[in-house]
Amino acid sequence: MRVPIRVLELRSVRGTGGGPEKTILLGAARSDPSRFQVTVCYVRDARDEIFGIGPRAASLKVDYVEVRERHSLDPAAWSRLRALVRDRRIDIVHAHEYKTDLIAAWLARTERVVALSTAHGWTGHSRRERWLYYPADRRLLARFPHVIAVSSDIRRALIAAGARPDRVTTILNGIDHRAFRRSHLAEPIARRALGLSADDVVIGSIGRLEPQKRFDLLIDAVAAVRTAHPRVRLVLAGDGSLRSALESQAQRVLGDDGCRLLGHRSDVADLHHAFDLFVQSSDYEGTPNAVLEAMALETALVATDAGGTAELAVDGVHGRIVPCGDAGALTRAIAAALDDRDGTARMTAAARSRVERELSFDARMRALECIYEQLADSRRDDDRVAPAAV
């Protein structure tokens, strides 16, 4: 019987994380332990008091480990990671952002594991990230044995940085369409929980309150739409550095009852049951889980063509897709979604069908596991040629 492939999913994040956490944790939970033994490890800054990955991992019964670091370059944390790889006899270290990409490359040199990365995108907005960390990360990934890109845009960026095309595979994010299913009986309950009435037209969005999400654009678009649709209400779920600024803007252009900022929420499905329309207004995305969730939960969709969004939803077929940063186009698309109810309903049904047929989490897992097997076979071939370093 073939020995299971031992995989270390490695990531560093602050706070409650984002879309990649859903993919990593659910993927580990869904793996067949007879074929893949998956350990999820998060490098946690000891100063982060709101870190929230552990309870989510426990709820999914994932083999989960935290390595705490005193600061970003804590050598003790790196030593603990090396010990973890040895103790678990890891075959593949699967990294998920620039810091763990570097750690995975180092472990591949010191422990004869195979380094793999999923490039979720480079969405930070600090100068240090944009001009130092992200370019360096792309150059590093160009030397990896294999990289998974969550959108074609990301794949092109990696190839432009020097990666061999045959070593970069695009795998769009997937969603568990069985778990994310709309129940019309739950809609009035979800609205009451948010203090909304049956007559309200609810536009919702979910994401970190950071510059690349362009919630400022969405607030202005909703204000413009309210001229013809005075019952429109905007609900934003998420937290971040722009919360105060967005609250002030919403108060100024939408008034006391036009917008609610809910802060971080984990009950995504419940929120969607209160939404008539989901809007993504981002300037940049990888392959947004928020769009997948809207499609699966049969919430009508308006989104910018950021990142892999247009690969998930075809304009005019699964929703209305508009250019990034175009306030007028976003406003017109929202108005059209509210005015053309029959057309919107057809697109919403088509989006759900696409999720079931082509964007399921099961399909994503099969593609990922195929890469694991290829890399493990390559490692075994290398081990037969040359003995491991002592």
- How much is the pLDDT for 63? 97
pLDDT 10s digit of each residue in the chain, 390 long?
678 999 999 999 988 888 899 899 999 999 999 999 999 999 999 999 889 899 999 999 999 999 999 988 889 999 999 999 999 999 999 999 999 999 999 999 999 899 999 999 998 778 898 899 999 999 999 999 999 999 999 999 999 999 999 999 999 999 999 999 999 999 999 999 999 999 999 999 999 999 999 999 999 999 999 999 999 999 999 999 999 999 999 999 999 999 999 998 989 999 999 999 999 999 999 889 999 999 999 999 999 999 899 999 999 999 999 999 999 999 999 999 999 999 999 999 999 999 999 999 999 999 999 999 999 998 776 665 554 443
Residue 256 host element (H or E) = none
pLDDT of residue 389: 41
In terms of Cβ atoms closer than 10 Å to its own Cβ (0-12, 13-18, 19+), residue 182 is middle
- Distance (Å, whole) CA 259 – CA 377: 54
pTM: 0.86
Strand pairing category for 64-69 and 277-280 = unpaired
Q: What is the mean pLDDT of the chain?
A: 94
- Return d(Cα 312, Cα 350) in angstroms, integer: 12
The sign of the torsion formed by the CA atoms of 320, 265, 211, 123 equals: negative
Partners of 206 in beta bridges: 237
Residues 224 and 206: their CA atoms lie apart, in Å, by 20
Domains annotated for the chain, with CATH where assigned, are 5-174+360-385 (3.40.50.2000), 184-358 (3.40.50.2000)
The residue type of 39 is: T
* pLDDT tens digits along 69-121: 998 888 999 999 999 999 999 999 999 999 999 999 999 999 989 999 999 99
- Residue 276 contacts residue 201 (beta carbons within 8 Å): yes
Can you give the pLDDT at residue 390? Answer: 30
> Is 107 in contact with 21 (CB distance < 8 Å)?
no
Query: Residue 123 burial (CB < 10 Å; 0-12/13-18/19+)?
Result: buried
- Give which of 79, 127, 78 is closest to 99, Cα–Cα: 78
